[in-house]
Structure 1
Amino acid sequence: MTLKGEGKGPLPPLLAQYVELRERYPDYLVLFQVGDFYETFGEDAERLARAINITLTHKTSKDFVTPMAGIPVRSADSYLEKLLAQNICVAIADQLESPADADGLVRRDVTQLITPGTVTDDKLLRPDATYLAAVATGEGYGLALLDLSTGEFRGTQLYSKAALFDELRRYRPAELLLAPELHAQESFREGCCERFSVMVTRGRFDESEAQGALAGHFGALPTGLDTAALLRAAGAVLSYARHTQRGKLPQVTRFVRYDPSAYMQLGETALATLEVFRTAHAALGEGGRTLLSILDATRTAPGRRLLQAWLRHPLLDRELIEARLGAVEAFVQDGVLRREVRKALFKMHDLERLASKLVTERANARDLCALARSLALVPELRRLLGARGERALAALGERLRVPEGVCERVGAALVDDPPLKITEGGLIRSGFDRELDGLRARAEDARAWIAALEAEERAATGIPTLKIGFNGVFGYYLEVTRPYLERVPPSYRAVQTLKDRQRYVRDDLREREREILRFEAAAKGREYEVFGLLRGELAAAADAVRDLGAALAELDVYSALAEVAAEGRFCRPTFSEGALEIRAGRHPVVERFHPFIPNDLTMSPSERLLILTGPNMSGKSTYLRQSALIALLAQIGSFVPAERAVLPLFERIYTRIGASDDIAGGRSTFMVEMSELATILQNATPKSLVLLDEIGRGTSTFDGLALAWAAAEYLEARTGAYVLFATHYFELTALEGRLASARNLHVAAKEEAGGLTFYHQVLPGPASKAYGLEVAKLAGVPAKVLARARALLEGLEATRNDQAKGVVDALLAVDVSRLSPLEALQLLYELQDRARGLAPQPT
């Protein structure tokens, strides 16, 4: 690295040391400790100043001037958070010795590497899982995910880019490592950055290196790494994490291979459309109105993370779903139990992350006290669950096992409210360690001697105002006010003169002070040593603590889903082999913020294509989405917002709702719509729930209508999927008489004197009209525009009716038996030209 600046000659030693560290970590912003500040120089200083909006200054020496910017060490966390939010990786270069002890330049070295995906500091971590992900190719894509804060390490093999993007959308990693073959593809790399707001990094993906790293870490190559792509991805993510953590990953104890096809598939589009984790308007500050936000009544961070995991992967196994529902129902029925359990969980700390901090030696004294307090709550939770007798709760209660001796050991060793720093003393109780007690006693004896000295010297000198004080400059001193200065003994040595008093020291006082300092320093060192031994001893319980944390997270989710169900009047769903019946269903998010009209939905294998018509703003899209959300909730094991819900188990939910483009990818709104439609037509099965809204609106009326008509026919005839099809093409309502499983529904609305009234009620049959002009009026379109539109509409409808009547009249007037083949063909061409604009006929 060449340091940006002006001047001639060699760099000053401090800047040379900075440059040397900067060259070792070229991909990081190096924060270089100089006393109470972390400094940066040259281009890094300009980058830091821009990123966190601080003043840029200059480092000036005899021969060199360079830009400089810094942040206070004591408030570094707040600035680090801003840097990570901008995907800036940071290397912390700390002073390794006191300037007073240094022989020349203070030794400095990088002590921490901090990247968005490898954060472990509590002050920088969010409660949600923070994933570091890696992707490699080879017979598809290998995806590996690692959360360093808990040690969760998992991966899967995927066979299409769409499936990969679906998983990345579910997990939303904070940092993504790409194999060289993918990193070299600018469109893929930039697409990941923009699509998932993720920092993309180049990693080490050599297959033999990956195998060695994994086998070396686990003792043997984990099972499940049976493809080259997944092996490379898992090895890359592990190696990168070990690099940033200085080679230590004791919290990562196993690798889990998972299969997305074992769960309900929620594609990238469906997750976005249904607003499961993020709203379409999250950038406008409305990120809280999501399905997750409505369900998240959890009391602990592990509970919230588990709820997110359940929403990422709804179940397909009916037995597992029913087991979850049974636990939720027990809490719904017993409000007292639910309240008491939730009260205890609220006091519970994040045991999953505490377990990781134990084995990585990052736990401080407060963490150990938090662990002990949390474990002390568990017996009461077991008692509460055991008193109910339900099998689901009893089984969960059996998993709430407290590691033996942890609470007692922490209680005996640590004071009730220990300080944050573990190097400054004040951590260990008296009586826990004999050596520490001895050091403290000797320091206390010296203090007692000093305390007694004041009374003794007053008596010996006859100075009634004499007192002993202490400050950081002179240490202990004897202080005498001015009227008694003539009585001061010769053995007192003056060290400070004030306006009305004099301060002195004595050799024996200095000796006692040195004793106190020596014994206090030794005591602090011993406390740190004792704490380290205690922490190391408790690390053996880390796996048990982690397992307990997982069980408590499950308990938290059950009680949270029950709380939501009880407050929202949700019902327990049941499952069928094909029938779908939702009585008085509601949208779980919309009903929280607006008055809501419940609606019914009935479908079956013989009635599985519903054509929904009605005006804009009447609630068609809401009706579609609430049906999918009810199915999704049921399959995570949650009660659902309805009076009654009987559902088949869906393997996948597809959505094509709303208008969006992909300008960066060169795709128009219509192209995006057709791509999503193509995916649905190619992949939907009888176990799919398909939501379609306004297919074909991005092109001409006739092209769009033809596409919508053909798509509906194909879905009904070829896929067997359950389809909810909202449309403004009234011509599609003719499908009810043409396709066996098609049925018309409409959302009620009525034009009254005061304007258009929406009833938001879904009723059988087609809508009477589109009410497009009425909705435009409600939106504030100028009256002159509306009047002109109405006149044009009347003319278009009259022309179309005349055309249709003319075609029919011409056809009826012909005596077909007298036409030659050539005349019949000519007549057919003429009628076809006149029929342009009429509804397409099914093939």
Structure 2
Amino acid sequence: PRPFRPYDPGAFMHLPEATLRALEVFEPIRGQDTLFGVLDETRTAFGRRLLQSWLRHPLLEAGPLEARLDRVERFVREGALREGVRRLLFRLADLERLATRLEMGRASPRDLGSLRRSLEILPELRALLGEEVVLPDLGSLLEELRAALEEELPLKLSEGGLIRQGYDPHLDALRQAQREGVAYFLELEEREKARTGIPTLKVGYNAVFGYYLEVTRPYYERVPSEYKAIQTLKDRQRYTLPEIKERERELYRLEAQIRRREEEVFLEVRERARKEAEALREAARVLAELDVYAALAEVAVRYGYVRPRFGDRLHIRGGRHPVVERRTSFVPNDLEMAHELVLVTGPNMAGKSTYLRQTALIALLAQIGSFVPAEEATLPLFDRILTRIGASDDLAGGKSTFMVEMEEVALILKEATERSLVLLDEVGRGTSSLDGVAIATAVAEALHERRCYTLFATHYFELTALPLSRLKNLHVAAKEEEGGLTFYHQVLPGPASKSYGVEVARMAGLPKEVVERAKALLQVLTARREGVAEAVLERLISLDPNTLTPLEALRLLHELKALALGAPLDTIKG
């Protein structure tokens, strides 16, 4: 039985399924592109599976990560070595699956043929890489397979033609007897031609009658009396002889013995291979890592990635989204933060969500030991990446979009630590504006208190003025021009000046009269809000707090609250 290996979840970054979905690591939200699709330049099936495993289990310690990055960097620097290794890896069979099939006794003749061809490639890989790659010694198994198996092997064991001449003496003797039996029929044709004087006589075979003698119509009168007719055709007849049937039965017997002996020998060879299953699995593990290193190097060279460094602050210069940049021109952006709450404002479609996602993907790539899409990157080692991005619901479970959003935010607040990277996109938008602002503010304050690395994209400009010591404001640049709204996709310091929601609605194709009505209403609502703020401010300036009694101060607070909310005074409760 295979030995169990301990699995320690605490040794890896925690990536919830919601994070993997939001970042489109394996499954696209729309379109067909994923992070795995960009990275998957592997050349083997087991290398591809290992890359998937690494993406699900990023590392937490700098030492193993630096070791991975060293190996990737060597392949980045040595292009000829990378190409040579990838070319050889492409010729390998799936050694992991072969080992499993061997252990289960299900390996077919062609499986062993694939194993032989794969083992023949290992010395070439050793020659290319020298002592850097340590593979188990499978030379004796290779020699056994070379000696035992034919070059071309059938799909099924029952088809025969498996074992080479000279490998098994008993099988060789049976085959020799079979060859002599076939030679008898070749000699029979010449002998009977001479004896009967029938020049067109020939020996044939079919599955119904077995071996037979065939004579054409012009020579029927020369057919000897001992010939027994078995089939008449239009212009010829077929005959048999007692000795033909006897020889035929002997050939069938030999054929069955050969098939049985081949099967016995094949099973013996397969059993010898089964004993090396663990060594094969170890070879597959080493080769899978080699495949992933070479694949990550190929991606780094092809797309211009750089080696990340690890430190206490997050510093990304010229960062890019590894998936989005593959399908469109991309504007790189910078980010600098350390245990801060970074608010990102700007209009819809400007690129706020992409900016959040690219930061998380760069962190994820760094912690699997990959180069990253940036000009320069220094990153903390995050213990988890937590996201609330995009709208989703669970109608079958009776949950609205807002309910699902709040559940995900609750999980983030429960799990986030000061070593976590948290991405929030438009939290609170699924309810009323006042409720949304209140919830978003409370969530922002809670994450700020936890000191985690938080990127919070929002349209609530109230959040940009929160009195928090580690709050940083960024905005995605856009400009309203005569032709409409222009997105620069550039992230700049400070909050956005406005949200441009009406302009985005116009770009989305809303009817002109609806857009014009929205503009007019926006002006009225903005003026009303500014008027309320002005009225509250004037009321406060006119007051002398030193002359107020406690009861008068309490009444004044109720009055100011009603004024701010635009509600009648008698509806406000303390």
Q: TM-score, normalised by structure 1?
A: 0.66
- CA–CA separation in structure 2 for the residues paired with 1:529 and 1:818: 108
**What letter is aligned with 1:654?**
L
Q: Residue 600 of structure 1 corresponds to which residue in structure 2? A: 334
- 8 Å Cα contact 1:378/1:402 also seen in 2: no
Q: Residue 342 of structure 1 corresponds to which residue in structure 2? A: 86
- CA–CA separation in structure 2 for the residues paired with 1:348 and 1:812: 81
- Structure 1 residue 634: Cα displacement: 0.4
Question: Does residue 1:427 correspond to 2:166, yes or no?
Answer: no
SS where residue 265 of structure 1 aligns?
A: coil
The equivalent position to 1:581 in structure 2, one of 315, 324, 348, is 315
Q: Residue 265 of structure 1 corresponds to which residue in structure 2? A: 14
Unaligned runs of 5+ in 2: 568-574
Q: Residue 405 of structure 2 corresponds to which residue in structure 1? A: 673
- 8 Å Cα contact 1:702/1:837 also seen in 2: no
**What letter is aligned with 1:504?**
Y
- CA–CA separation in structure 2 for the residues paired with 1:623 and 1:584: 11
Q: Residue 374 of structure 2 corresponds to which residue in structure 1? A: 642
Max radius of gyration: which structure?
Answer: 2
The equivalent position to 1:689 in structure 2, one of 418, 421, 443, is 421
- Structure 1 residue 837: Cα displacement: 7.1
SS where residue 477 of structure 1 aligns?
A: strand
Q: Residue 572 of structure 2 corresponds to which residue in structure 1? A: none
The equivalent position to 1:418 in structure 2, one of 153, 167, 177, is 153
Q: Residue 758 of structure 1 corresponds to which residue in structure 2? A: 487
Higher helix content, 1 or 2: 2
Taking the TM superposition and a 5 Å limit, the aligned residue runs for 1:108-507 are 252-281=1-30, 286=31, 288-386=32-130, 394-395=131-132, 397-398=133-134, 400-507=135-242
Q: Residue 18 of structure 1 corresponds to which residue in structure 2? A: none
Q: Residue 816 of structure 1 corresponds to which residue in structure 2? A: 545
> Once superposed, what is the RMSD of the aligned Cα atoms?
1.4
- CA–CA separation in structure 1 for the residues paired with 2:566 and 2:203: 105
Question: Does residue 1:628 correspond to 2:360, yes or no?
Answer: yes
- 8 Å Cα contact 1:652/1:688 also seen in 2: yes
**What letter is aligned with 2:359?**
S
- Structure 1 residue 521: Cα displacement: 1.0
Q: Residue 721 of structure 1 corresponds to which residue in structure 2? A: 452
- Structure 1 residue 408: Cα displacement: 1.1
Q: Note the alpha carbon deviations across 1:647-668, whole angstroms, 9 max, x for none.
A: 0100011101111112222221
**What letter is aligned with 2:495?**
P
Q: Residue 704 of structure 1 corresponds to which residue in structure 2? A: 436
- CA–CA separation in structure 1 for the residues paired with 2:97 and 2:548: 86
**What letter is aligned with 1:595?**
S
- CA–CA separation in structure 2 for the residues paired with 1:512 and 1:815: 127
Q: Residue 653 of structure 1 corresponds to which residue in structure 2? A: 385
Q: Residue 570 of structure 2 corresponds to which residue in structure 1? A: none
Q: Note the alpha carbon deviations across 1:199-242, whole angstroms, 9 max, x for none.
A: xxxxxxxxxxxxxxxxxxxxxxxxxxxxxxxxxxxxxxxxxxxx
**What letter is aligned with 2:446?**
Y
Q: TM-score, normalised by structure 2?
A: 0.97
**What letter is aligned with 1:279?**
P
**What letter is aligned with 1:319?**
G
- CA–CA separation in structure 1 for the residues paired with 2:151 and 2:452: 61
- Structure 1 residue 257: Cα displacement: 3.0
Unaligned runs of 5+ in 1: 1-251, 387-393, 839-843
- 8 Å Cα contact 1:275/1:291 also seen in 2: yes
SS where residue 769 of structure 1 aligns?
A: coil
- Structure 1 residue 810: Cα displacement: 2.1
**What letter is aligned with 1:315?**
L
- 8 Å Cα contact 1:402/1:548 also seen in 2: no
Question: Does residue 1:830 correspond to 2:559, yes or no?
Answer: yes
Q: Note the alpha carbon deviations across 1:241-267, whole angstroms, 9 max, x for none.
A: xxxxxxxxxxx5122231212211111
- CA–CA separation in structure 2 for the residues paired with 1:268 and 1:558: 25
- CA–CA separation in structure 1 for the residues paired with 2:557 and 2:280: 80
- CA–CA separation in structure 2 for the residues paired with 1:672 and 1:360: 45
- 8 Å Cα contact 1:331/1:558 also seen in 2: yes
- CA–CA separation in structure 1 for the residues paired with 2:118 and 2:223: 59
Q: Residue 507 of structure 2 corresponds to which residue in structure 1? A: 778
**What letter is aligned with 1:604?**
A
Q: Note the alpha carbon deviations across 1:368-387, whole angstroms, 9 max, x for none.
A: 1211111111111112112x
Q: Note the alpha carbon deviations across 1:322-361, whole angstroms, 9 max, x for none.
A: 0000000000000000000000000011111111222221
- Structure 1 residue 622: Cα displacement: 0.5
Question: Does residue 1:662 correspond to 2:394, yes or no?
Answer: yes
Q: Note the alpha carbon deviations across 1:267-320, whole angstroms, 9 max, x for none.
A: 121111111121224xxxx4x411111111110011011111111110011100
- CA–CA separation in structure 2 for the residues paired with 1:815 and 1:425: 106
- Structure 1 residue 487: Cα displacement: 0.4
SS where residue 335 of structure 2 aligns?
A: strand
Q: Residue 571 of structure 2 corresponds to which residue in structure 1? A: none
**What letter is aligned with 1:722?**
Y
- Structure 1 residue 796: Cα displacement: 0.9
- CA–CA separation in structure 1 for the residues paired with 2:436 and 2:225: 108
- Structure 1 residue 514: Cα displacement: 1.1
Question: Does residue 1:552 correspond to 2:287, yes or no?
Answer: yes
Compare relative contact order (CA 8 Å, sep 6+) and give the higher one, 1 or 2: 2
The equivalent position to 2:274 in structure 1, one of 539, 543, 562, is 539
- CA–CA separation in structure 2 for the residues paired with 1:763 and 1:652: 27
- CA–CA separation in structure 2 for the residues paired with 1:413 and 1:820: 105
- CA–CA separation in structure 1 for the residues paired with 2:9 and 2:490: 37
- CA–CA separation in structure 2 for the residues paired with 1:440 and 1:462: 33
- CA–CA separation in structure 2 for the residues paired with 1:725 and 1:306: 33
**What letter is aligned with 2:321?**
H
- CA–CA separation in structure 1 for the residues paired with 2:77 and 2:273: 39
- Structure 1 residue 641: Cα displacement: 0.6
Question: Does residue 1:791 correspond to 2:528, yes or no?
Answer: no
- 8 Å Cα contact 1:402/1:545 also seen in 2: no
Q: Residue 155 of structure 1 corresponds to which residue in structure 2? A: none
SS where residue 470 of structure 1 aligns?
A: strand
SS where residue 151 of structure 2 aligns?
A: coil
- 8 Å Cα contact 1:375/1:402 also seen in 2: no
- CA–CA separation in structure 1 for the residues paired with 2:548 and 2:88: 89
SS where residue 554 of structure 2 aligns?
A: helix
Distance 1:625 1:753, change over 3 A: same
SS where residue 356 of structure 1 aligns?
A: helix
- Structure 1 residue 616: Cα displacement: 0.4
Q: Note the alpha carbon deviations across 1:61-109, whole angstroms, 9 max, x for none.
A: xxxxxxxxxxxxxxxxxxxxxxxxxxxxxxxxxxxxxxxxxxxxxxxxx
- Structure 1 residue 460: Cα displacement: 1.1
- CA–CA separation in structure 1 for the residues paired with 2:149 and 2:414: 63
Q: Residue 523 of structure 1 corresponds to which residue in structure 2? A: 258
